[in-house]
Homo-oligomer: A and B are copies of this chain.
Amino acid sequence: MEPPGPLAPPAFAVRAAVRRSLAEDLTPLGDLTSALLGPGVSARATFVPRAAGVLAGTACATEAFAQLDATVAVEWSAADGDAVTAGQGVGRVEGPLASLLGAERTALNLLGHLSGVATFTARYVEAARASGGSARIWDTRKTTPGLRALEKAAVRAGGGSNHRGNLSDWVLLKDNHLARLEIADAVSRARDRWPGRTVHVECDRSDQVVEALAAGADAVLLDNMTPAEVRACVALADSDVARGHRSRRVLLEVSGGVTLESVADYAVTGVDMISVGAITNSAPVLDIGLDIGLDIERAD
């Protein structure tokens, strides 16, 4: 048994997602079809991606078999974050055939979805990197309900970074807040009420960026701007440092409708982060199959 690695989601999140998934796939009668197999049939099986991608969710797949039948053994030859190729065996499972089949879909749904998130993230990361720019990919709170911890871990596996985890992490003043509060006042209230927290300001226009810089924001979200507009805002932020107003440049985020096609254009503008909701809410599955081999005999 291996300890959880640095890219792993918290164990309780893994356990809860698997428990819910098995329950919805097996309530109330269990696996009708596999019950037709005679008793004592055991098998070995291999996880095999049908396409290239980045692996994520191995802890979930392991947990799916463990919860259904503790006698099943799972062993991985690739880990979360590894690039995998079509046809490559990435893990093996061995145990009663009925148990393999009963947990297979839960394991594959989690593995495929999370590897899909990691793979889609990696495509954005690669596109940004290939541009020669230094901007990195940030996820968002646009995650699948109930799976945030797992999807955010999959983003890390894909080379992306995690934006705030939830509404409780840091302050992000958006248009709806700023329609009611001046930027300077809002930043000041945030510092006062939530000392120590990142204060992040959404800006639609460069004059708002000027305000946010003057107010001492820690990060600025440039919302729905063109690459040219973004460059102008980067220049504002750089001059803020040049004029000695701060030693470290404000963190600059681009957000809003960035696609695989446009990400390179933004990546070279000089911003720090490009946030992409699609990597968590629109990632196609990475098709991974479980190839079940010949029956084996197991001594008791």
Listed in ascending order, the chain A residues whose CB lies under 8 Å from chain B are 1-6, 8-13, 17-39, 41, 43, 67-72, 95-99, 101-102, 105-106, 108-110, 112-113, 116, 136, 138, 141-149, 152-153, 161-174, 176-177, 180-181, 186, 189-190, 193-198, 200, 216, 218-219, 244-248, 251, 253, 272-273, 277-278, 281-285, 292, 295, 300
Contacts and interface: CB of A to CB of B under 8 A. Distances in A.
Contact of A33 (B34, B152, B167, B284): B167
Contacts of A35: 6, 193
Given A3-B71, A193-B35, A28 B282 contact: no
A2 B71 CA distance: 7
Contacts of A295: 180
B102 A67 contact: no
How many protomers of this protein does the assembly include?
A: 6
Contact of A292 (B161, B171, B176, B244): B176
The 5 residue pairs across chains A and B that have the minimum distance between CB atoms: A21-B145, A282-B284, A29-B168, A31-B167, A281-B285
A177 B144 CA distance: 33
Most chain B CB neighbours (cut-off 10 Å) among A30, A112, A176: A30
Contact of A10 (B12, B26, B38, B110): B26
B17 A281 contact: no
